[in-house]
């Protein structure tokens, strides 16, 4: 069910340790040609050895066509994605990846961009900083990590001409260098757009602080890496109806809509299977979904006319899907 759409064959041209538990990979086209263009904030799906597909943001400058660069944090709770990249992918290996996709684009009409990165969330943010610096746009970047040893790309940032626009904040550092979100976000200026990527706790803190300070949703841009594990013991069985055929499929406890439909011969394209990437987005014609994704905005969730069937369920006894 998991797949890489529009597959490209690439070769691993370089692999570097960037920080404790963080490796970067430089990917070049296996046939030696230029890679498809991408914009800041884009990610690729990577078919990881072992059969999983994972999304990684591109972190090199978007005007480069000779390589894609990604960086991967080793997750101690890895289901095989990050461990597969760290332990099984070597220089010279061939990988299958998707064309770049962008669900986290820069707002090019913004007057100022405020970039906030937490840990490995620096990858798309760094790409944005490179792009904004290249086009002479106004921006500031804050980069929060647990410690300097866990901070990827510090040397690259220090050598960049936009280095004065970047402040690093280390959890184990002095109080004076810590990021004070409430002060930073206290006054949303019209024309300023905020971008945040990082672990869920960091993103929740940034987005909640921004919303409390009355930032408009249109000014907030974010990308989650993975949805939080949730308790499934209370899940109830429900039905989904396929609008085009009238077929009804039962989704039992502990089974996803995608899996229940697959068992009935109805395939929905998926990628992350964690409610993060948006690949499986499906329109809902009737019924009330129970959203468990990290992809839809609060307004999109409230509209209840679409959901992510790889992870979301139903509050009503039946959902009618536009399939």
Residues that bind ligand FES (CB under 6 A): 270-273, 275-280, 293, 295, 308, 310
280 or 319: CB nearest ligand FES: 280
Angle 282-297-285 from CA coordinates, rounded to 5°: 30
Query: Cα separation of 3 and 48, whole Å?
Result: 11
146 or 255: CB nearest ligand FES: 255
Query: Cα separation of 26 and 44, whole Å?
Result: 13
78 or 271: CB nearest ligand FES: 271
DSSP assignments along 235-282, one per residue: ---EEEEETTT--EEEE-TT--HHHHHHHTT----BSSSSSSS-TT-E
Question: Strand pairing of 318-321 and 313-314?
Answer: unpaired
CB of 306 to ligand FES, least distance (A): 11
CB of 272 to ligand FES, least distance (A): 4
85 or 227: CB nearest ligand FES: 227
CB of 271 to ligand FES, least distance (A): 5
Query: Cα separation of 251 and 313, whole Å?
Result: 9
CB of 276 to ligand FES, least distance (A): 6
64 or 300: CB nearest ligand FES: 300
Sign of CA dihedral 191, 196, 273, 305: negative
CB of 2 to ligand FES, least distance (A): 8
């Amino acid at each position: 069910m998991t797949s890489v759409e529009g597959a490209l064959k690439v070769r691993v041209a370089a692999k570097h340790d960037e920080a404790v538990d963080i490796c970067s990979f430089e990917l070049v086209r296996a046939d030696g040609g230029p890679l498809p263009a991408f914009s800041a904030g884009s990610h690729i799906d990577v078919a990881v050895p072992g059969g999983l597909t994972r999304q990684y943001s591109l972190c090199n400058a978007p005007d480069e066509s000779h390589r894609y660069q990604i960086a991967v944090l080793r997750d101690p709770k890895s289901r095989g994605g990050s461990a597969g990249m760290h332990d099984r992918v070597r220089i010279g290996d061939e990988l299958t990846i998707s064309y770049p996709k962008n669900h986290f684009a820069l707002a090019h009409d913004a007057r100022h961009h405020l970039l906030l990165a937490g840990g490995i969330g620096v990858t798309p943010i760094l790409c944005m900083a490179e792009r904004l610096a290249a086009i002479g746009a106004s921006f500031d970047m804050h980069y929060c990590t647990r410690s300097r040893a866990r901070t990827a790309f510090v040397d690259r940032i220090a050598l960049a001409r936009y280095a004065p626009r970047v402040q690093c904040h280390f959890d184990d550092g002095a109080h004076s260098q810590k990021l004070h979100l409430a002060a930073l976000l206290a006054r949303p200026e019209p024309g300023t757009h905020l971008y945040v990527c990082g672990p869920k706790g960091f993103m929740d803190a940034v987005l909640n602080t921004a919303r409390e300070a009355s930032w408009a949703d249109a000014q907030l841009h974010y990308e989650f890496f993975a949805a939080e594990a949730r308790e499934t013991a209370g899940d109830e069985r429900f039905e989904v109806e396929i609008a085009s055929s009238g077929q009804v499929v039962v989704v039992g406890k502990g089974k996803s809509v995608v899996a229940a439909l697959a068992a009935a011969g109805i395939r929905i394209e998926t990628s992350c299977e964690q409610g993060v990437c948006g690949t499986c987005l499906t329109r809902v014609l009737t019924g009330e979904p129970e959203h468990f994704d990290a992809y839809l905005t609060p307004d999109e969730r409230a509209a209840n006319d679409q959901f992510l069937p790889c992870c979301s369920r139903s509050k009503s006894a039946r959902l009618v899907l536009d399939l």
